[in-house]
Chains A and B, each alone.
Chain A
Amino acid sequence: MNHLLSIEDLDRAAIERIVTQAERFSEVSDREIKKVPALRGRMVLNLFYEASTRTRSSFELAAKRLSADVVNFAASGSSVEKGESLKDTVLTLSAHKPDAIVLRTPWAGASELVSKWCSAAIVNAGDGKREQPTQALLDVYTLRRRLGEIDGLSIWIVGDVAHSRVARSNIIAFQRMGAKVTVAGPPTLIPRGIEELGCEVRFTLDELASADVVYALRMQRERMSETWVPSPREYASWYQINGRRLSPHQILMHPGPVNRGVELSGEVVDSPQAVITAQVEAGVVVRMAVLYELLSGAREPHTGVERAPLADVATVGGAQPA
């Protein structure tokens, strides 16, 4: 694997390989010194064209736990605001010879383009409304840890599907892992032809009880003002996941950040069914596994420093999946 551009590029075996590697890394997070030397001498560049706290910091933590060097490049306050194109920015930053570029942009397909412009491994950390593949991987990881198997699960993805890259990546990833996916939300926010991705479509939550997993999407407040839905009140009354709608056997997921009182009621956020905090934790180990997968292989480090032997990692987690 040279890049992680789209979850579509990963078959079930590849997803399982990354998730299994993440399980090995999870032990590192519990150590006193949360670091392994697996990517010593490698450089990871975080190139973010959109505001992001949790994704960026979790990539940064992941790289640092693998002993890689990290450079953060945020588009605001930089040459980008002076009119530099994506290509020129990438070419300029490539002069620093990063081994991997973690890229978030508001534009679909940007990571594919960047992968053609430089030799670094590219990780898509969100490209417009298209994909957020590491989110899908960490969600698979979280579900596997909680439930063991994903095969045969019924997973409902609820909310603003139209504007959600998380929805698109997860519809693909969950199905690849053997789950049956249903998307539900107001018809204005369910995009045309979404069923061609293989999922079912519902406009109400009447059948939500049939779900094993409820995955609520973030409802951005600006969507309200763009008349996608009549009001936050009406949205909440039809689509909010609350104690009345969530059954005790169901797992609740959310990619964060949560709008309490909009897509989720406060009591379900804090309920034991919610795995939202576990998802955040999973973010770091799964991104460690992705960086490890991309950088520990055939690629030689630009610095010429010797590659950390695989044994370093194998000893770390005992090489046994959790």
Chain B
Amino acid sequence: MTGAAPLVNGPEPLADVLLREVRLLDPRTPIDAPADVRIRAGRIAELAAPGTLEADGAEEVFEGGGRLALLPAFFDPHVHLRTPGQEHKEDLESGTRAAAAGGYGAVIAMPNTDPVLDSAPLLRSLRDAAAREARISVGFLASITRGLKGEQLTEMAELRQQGALGFTDDGRPVQSAGMLQKALQYQRLCGGVLALHEEDLTLSRSGSMNDGAVSTALGIRGIPTVAESTMVARDAALAGYEDGRVHFQHLSCAGSVDAVADAKQRGWRVSAEVTPHHLLLTEEDVRGMDTRMKMHPPLATDADRRALVDALRAGTIDCVATDHAPHARDEKEVPFEQAPMGTTGLETAFAALYSGLVVSGELELGVLVARMTAGAELFGLPAPRIVAGELAGVTLVDLDAEWVAGEHGWESRSENCCFAGRRLRGRVLLTIAAGALAHRDRSLAMVGA
């Protein structure tokens, strides 16, 4: 299906920079070696041996000194930019600024806004706004059902023509199997990925955290992990039956990993994402009833967490997604059971995963970078590659820098980050998205200007 370009780029000017003596790491090329990289008018102009390129004009020069790593810019297939309707939590500018600060070159925004992104005119107006305000590339998913009500399909074909990358009722499951089957059948006409928030509402009920010993000790109603895993299994089977393409959002437990592995084994066209918080935190982190630890799906056990890490390493889970879910301070400053679900994540994703999984030896840096960029391909977009001639989508990271999450505030409009206050390693210094300089850390000195 042809139509509007799926990603919208903001108004930032194209970058002219020279990165000298950086560790160039691109798992797709593949390369992991010291190099000099010249970016001119937003394109990767030259890759050369370290210390060989000289400034030849007005470009900004960054000295890597061997300790800074240049990575392909990350891609997040799951963020909430809260626009339209909840701009007090986040907007297109603040959300993409947060993404750029986390090293992201592109994000996909979810449609559970107010009003719900379920019609072509609304999608057009959002894309226009993104072209004015966004720091990085933004793509949009429209809802599967009108108003997320689960009763009637959206005009999926028209939405695809207007640039929708796919469809999701994220925040809610498509509870009716029959409704999802129709969406899968209609997908043959319109294409686009169906991204699924998996939750059996008759099992999750009004729970606020994982069902288990911790929820029992706290007297808080639990959500059993089977609320997710049974729906993953159901919808994988539906996708297999209709030969449809589905993407499972924010997996949280070992049972869901098994269901995805089984579906892939059968050759069904499924993919899956996992969030940094599900890879790093467990229900034990909820004991203090900190509302920043309240998210959907809930943090599960350490066995679940380890299964998710193993699946990410093995590729059963294809990519990392933050499910960046900003909420205003007064909305989260309430008792745990009253608080809305969600944590912000764009600004801490790389550093949290690098500190928690790479430094500890659980995951190789190259694998982490591959999984933090793989979301693009899953949604039919080219993943950024650091190759001469390509539009630059890169992020420059100081792998040794230590910082405390949130110590200098946040780029996001909201501060409900589950990693706030943690000491992290690995700091994003510079992000170039679609050729434009989208973020530059305040600590960066200009050299050679």
Contacts and interface: CB of A to CB of B under 8 A. Distances in A.
A193 B334 contact: no
Contacts of B337: 106-108, 128
Contacts of A130: 218-220
Interface stretch (A66-74, A109-117, A133-141, A257-265): A109-117
Contacts of A127: 219, 335
B124 interface: no
B213 A196 contact: yes
Contacts of B402: none
* Prevailing SS type, chain A contact patch: mixed
Interface residues of A, number: 24
Nearest to A8: B217
B340 to A, nearest CB: 13
Q: Which of B214, B215, B335 has the most CB of A within 10 A?
A: B335
Given A165-B219, A192-B222, A109 B213 contact: no
A108 B330 contact: no
Given A85-B334, A113-B335, A108 B217 contact: no
Interface string B202-223: 0000000001111111111110
A87 B150 CA distance: 36
Interface string B397-431: 00000000000000000000000000000000000
Contacts of B216: 191-194, 196-197
Q: Which of A108, A168, A194 has the most CB of B within 10 A?
A: A108
Nearest to A169: B219
B152 interface: no
Interface in A84-140: 85-87, 105-110, 112-113, 127-131
A86 B334 contact: yes
B213 A129 contact: no
A86 B291 CA distance: 15
Contact of B335 (A108, A129, A131, A197): A108
A105 B335 contact: yes
Contact of B219 (A112, A128, A192): A128
B212 A192 contact: yes
A314 to B, nearest CB: 38
A287 to B, nearest CB: 21
A21 to B, nearest CB: 27
Contacts of B52: none
A128 B220 contact: yes
A108 B218 contact: yes
B215 A107 contact: no
Contacts of A108: 218-220, 289, 335-337
Contacts of A131: 219
Contacts of B334: 85-87, 107, 113
Nearest to B224: A192
Contact of B336 (A85, A107, A168, A193): A107
Interface in B300-333: 330, 333
Interface residues of B, number: 21
B338 interface: yes
Contacts of B213: 192-194, 196
Contacts of B220: 108, 128-130
A270 to B, nearest CB: 32
B289 A112 contact: yes
Nearest to B217: A197
A87 B219 contact: no
A153 B334 CA distance: 40
A86 B215 CA distance: 23
Nearest to A190: B216
A193 B217 CA distance: 8
A181 to B, nearest CB: 14
B219 A129 contact: yes
A60 B214 CA distance: 34
Nearest to B336: A109
Q: Which of B211, B330, B336 has the most CB of A within 10 A?
A: B336
Interface in A146-167: 165
A87 B289 CA distance: 16
Given A107-B337, A109-B289, A191-B215, A129 B330 contact: no
A123 B213 CA distance: 25
Q: Which of B217, B219, B222, B289 has the most CB of A within 10 A?
A: B219
A133 to B, nearest CB: 12
Given A108-B289, A194-B216, A129 B221 contact: yes
Contacts of B289: 108-109, 112
B338 A168 contact: no
A7 B338 CA distance: 23
A113 B334 CA distance: 8
Q: Which of A112, A131, A191, A196 has the most CB of B within 10 A?
A: A191
Contacts of A107: 334-338
Contacts of B218: 108-109, 130
B204 to A, nearest CB: 14
Contacts of A193: 212-217
A127 B219 CA distance: 9
Nearest to A130: B219
A86 B211 contact: no
Contacts of A192: 211-213, 215-216, 222, 224
A85 B335 CA distance: 10
Nearest to A106: B337
B330 A85 contact: yes
B202 to A, nearest CB: 11
Contacts of A129: 219-221
Nearest to A172: B217
B335 A110 contact: yes
Nearest to B211: A192
Interface in B77-123: none
Contacts of A165: 219
14 contacts: A86-B335, A107-B338, A108-B218, A108-B337, A112-B289, A128-B337, A129-B219, A131-B219, A192-B211, A192-B212, A193-B217, A194-B216, A197-B216, A197-B217
Given A108-B337, A168-B217, 15 more contacts: A105-B335, A108-B218, A108-B220, A127-B335, A129-B219, A165-B219, A191-B215, A191-B222, A192-B215, A192-B224, A193-B214, A193-B215, A193-B217, A194-B213, A194-B216
5 closest A-B pairs by beta carbon, nearest first, are A193-B213, A107-B335, A130-B219, A129-B219, A109-B289
Interface of A: 85-87, 105-110, 112-113, 127-131, 165, 168, 191-194, 196-197
